[in-house]
Structure 1
Amino acid sequence: MLNGNLEAFWRSRLSKKDPVARIGYALWVTDTAKLKHAIQSGDTNFWNNKGFTYWEFMARSTVVNLATGLERGGFRGTFSQMRAKIKDVGIEVANQHISFVTHDYDNGNIGEVKGLLSLKQMADYHHIAFKLFNIPNHFYGGTWLNNVPDEAEFTLYGELYCHDCDSAVGYKGANQ
């Protein structure tokens, strides 16, 4: 389904108005002109009335946080090796996204919209993916403040990247 093409995957999620696709596509697009076009030709409400500069910044800061998380988790490598490892993490995150969306859609008892994830669901699948790469939970993926409860963080800055996520009503955690 994914075949390692993260740009195509997140572009397909954009077409479905998947909220997390904004940052996913911004992260993995191979040409910033494509991102600019997607934003300028898209629904401004979907993009939270934020332009190209905002989403490019969000993507760049995410890459830096992810690289730092990999290093904190013990990964050491050249620049090329780091890029390859970041892509490996990206593929795992995308696979977890697929799994969580499928579960949400099939169960229909989470949140208000089938297949639309909450901030908590997204944080959980990032944490699952990160664990495979020894990345601490608080790097990249919605829960940056290590000693602050996730729900407080979502309230504090969840709107920065997901103003239109589903609620977490009925969500019992990643093992649900």
Structure 2
Amino acid sequence: MEAFWKSRLDKKDPVARIGYALWVSDTKKLKNEITKGDPKFWNFKGFSYWELMARSTVVNLAVGLNKGGFRGSIKETREKIKEVGNEVARLHILFVKRDYRNKTGSIPGKLSLRQMADYHKLAFKRFNIPEHFYGGTWLESVADEKEFKIYGHLYCHDCDTNTGYQAQ
């Protein structure tokens, strides 16, 4: 997972900021990527911010798995989170390929907040995680598009547009 998200980070994939932060084996590597990287790409946020985003994602996934009925030890929960992560990565690849093929948005291969939410929700469904546990759509009673406008910039200030996107 680390190598996959590092390769996406090298391509300036916005999703990779959190993906790499989640799966990096040593936080010094994350700190180095942020320090040497373009501050604009990192939304002028430092290491502590992106590490917090990753840690909150892990907690959110653990709680989501529990809400979905998964009961396991800490070790089993970690393994299940890795399974979810593998499915998210698989779907990310699929959605990026579709983005190129369908010429969605303004930049080929760069996903929108909607595309990101859709593939996360598909992955979560496979593990019985309630879809609103995706960090970009926490507020169950608020339409996703409103949530994207309210706090989408916190994790993806440079995502592509939805132009031409149709949910699969």
The interval holding the TM-score normalised by the smaller chain is over 0.9
- CA distance in structure 2 between the partners assigned to 1:168 and 1:143 by the alignment: 16
Question: Deviation digits for residues 3-57 of structure 1, max 9, x if unmatched?
Answer: xxx1110000000000000000001101000000000011100000000000000
Counterpart in the other structure of 2:50: 55
Counterpart in the other structure of 1:12: 7
Alignment: residue pair count? 168
For the Cα contact (< 8 Å) 1:66–1:86, is it kept in 2? yes
Question: Deviation digits for residues 86-144 of structure 1, max 9, x if unmatched?
Answer: 00000000000000000001121x11111110000000000000000000011134111
Residue 144 (structure 1) aligned with residue 138 (structure 2): yes
Counterpart in the other structure of 2:154: 160
- CA distance in structure 1 between the partners assigned to 2:135 and 2:122 by the alignment: 11
Residue 21 (structure 1) aligned with residue 16 (structure 2): yes
Counterpart in the other structure of 1:3: none
Equivalent residues in 2 for 1:77-92, closer than 5 Å: 77-92=72-87
- CA distance in structure 2 between the partners assigned to 1:131 and 1:159 by the alignment: 25
Residue 116 (structure 1) aligned with residue 110 (structure 2): yes
- CA distance in structure 2 between the partners assigned to 1:140 and 1:88 by the alignment: 16
Secondary structure in 1 matching 2:131: coil
Counterpart in the other structure of 1:135: 129
**Structure 2: tracts of 5 or more residues without a match:** none
Counterpart code for 1:30: S
Counterpart code for 1:81: E
What is the root-mean-square deviation in Å for CA atoms of aligned residues? 0.6
- CA distance in structure 2 between the partners assigned to 1:134 and 1:122 by the alignment: 18
- CA distance in structure 1 between the partners assigned to 2:96 and 2:137 by the alignment: 20
- CA distance in structure 1 between the partners assigned to 2:110 and 2:64 by the alignment: 27
TM-score by length of 1: 0.94
For the Cα contact (< 8 Å) 1:122–1:141, is it kept in 2? no
- CA distance in structure 2 between the partners assigned to 1:143 and 1:27 by the alignment: 19
**Which residue of 67, 87, 92 maps to 1:97?**
92
Secondary structure in 1 matching 2:109: coil
Secondary structure in 2 matching 1:13: helix
- CA distance in structure 1 between the partners assigned to 2:68 and 2:156 by the alignment: 27
Runs of 4+ in 1 over 2 A off after TM superposition: none
